[in-house]
Amino acid sequence: MFGYLVRRVLSALLVIVCVVFVVSAISKLVPGDIVDMMEAGNPGMTEQDKAILREQLGVNKPVFETFTSYLGGIFRGDLGNSTRLRSSAAVLIAERVPATLELALTALFLALIVALPLGILCALKQGTAIDYFGTIVSTFGVAVPNFLIGIILILVFSVELQWLPSTGYKGSVVVAAWEALKAWDGSVLWDRMRYILMPAVSLAFFAIALNTRLIRSTMLEVIRQDYLQFARAKGVPERTVYLKHALRNALIPTVTIVGLQLGTLLGGTFIIENVFAWPGIGRLAVQSIFWRDYPLIQASILVAACVFVLINLAVDLIYRLIDPRIRYVRH
């Protein structure tokens, strides 16, 4: 276990170093003069500003030196300054990470809580109307892009029914949940939840569809196993057979997939945040591309990639802990 842990952490570190290298080399990879490009998105730049930027981005330095100075900056907590917003990129991003994580985690939660009963129900009622409904939902969910789901939700719940706000963010739901618990007042929580519901559902839709398919097919497979017949034969009630014996084994592949999905969901936030004006890293990254604000682009991509690598690492290690049968083979 320990050897595996060390290897896994080292390989994650290596990936992060590669990310830092690629990100620091952006100033070299951009076709043309990067600072002239930035002037187009940031009017009113003086020659002096340009000189400072050239120095900061390491335009005139060799690639390796750019890399080491960028890496040095990271250790000092300095990711450069946003040219557009004129403040520290690290601070700008730190403010936005929680919103992105909260959105992705809520979507992950939804992906499980909806897909689990739907998948089980479809498997148990195979061939009935419920099963067809589940199949249609999963076919649509896999095929329809998340931003389109978002637009449809806005049309239904904001434009037609006027139940939910179409964009915006009023602060963390988790914090609100704590406050609501303390004050014993649900309205505080609902006021925040209204904003996260549609972004989270549109982000989760794809995962819900995939998980429903997966849970349905693994359940169907497990149900046919001999040991379930045996359990029935010795008089275990149907309910227990399904919920205890079958479900438990059907859950293993699901849990594996769900962990991997967190990454896909984080990728999806890059689009969904822009649909719902959700103030996370994804929105910041896309805005900074428009502004040609390269220090901010570098920083947001770096942070997004690192969050990603760390989450994958955590998921891997957690699996290893909860299911010792999963053995990792060295390549």
Beta bridge partners of 81: 88
Question: Token pair 């007042």 is at which residue?
Answer: 185
Alpha-carbon gap, residue 229 to 210, rounded angstroms: 29
Return the SS3 of 88: strand
Look-up of token digits 């960028």: 70
Nearest to 8 by CA among 327, 322, 326, 316: 316
206/242 with CB nearer another protein: 206
Find the radius of gyration of the CA atoms of the chain.
24
Q: Is 319 in the site for another protein (CB under 8 A)?
A: no
Count the residues of the shown chain that bind another protein, applying the rule CB under 8 A: 48
Residue 223 sits in the site that holds another protein (CB under 8 A): no
2, 76, 127, 143: residue in contact with another protein (rule CB under 8 A): 143
> Binding string, 201-220, against another protein, x = CB under 8 A?
---------x----------
CB proximity list for 180: less than 8 A, separation 6 or greater: 186, 187, 188, 189
Nearest Cα to Cα of residue 108 among 267, 215, 259: 259
Of 194, 264, 317, 320, the residue at the interface with another protein (CB under 8 A) is 264
Regarding 164 and contact with another protein (CB under 8 A), the answer is no
Under DSSP, is residue 80 helix (H, G, I), strand (E, B) or coil? coil
Query: Of residues 5, 6, 9, 18, which one binds another protein by CB under 8 A?
Result: 18
Question: Residue 131 or 179: which CB sits closer to another protein?
Answer: 131
Contact pick of 59, 85, 124, 152 for another protein (by CB under 8 A): 152
d(CA 199, CA 106): 10
Q: Which residues bind another protein (CB under 8 A)?
A: 15, 18, 22, 26, 29-31, 37, 139-140, 142-148, 151-152, 154-155, 158-159, 166, 210, 257, 263-264, 266-268, 270-271, 274-275, 285-286, 288-290, 292, 297, 301, 304-305, 308-309, 312
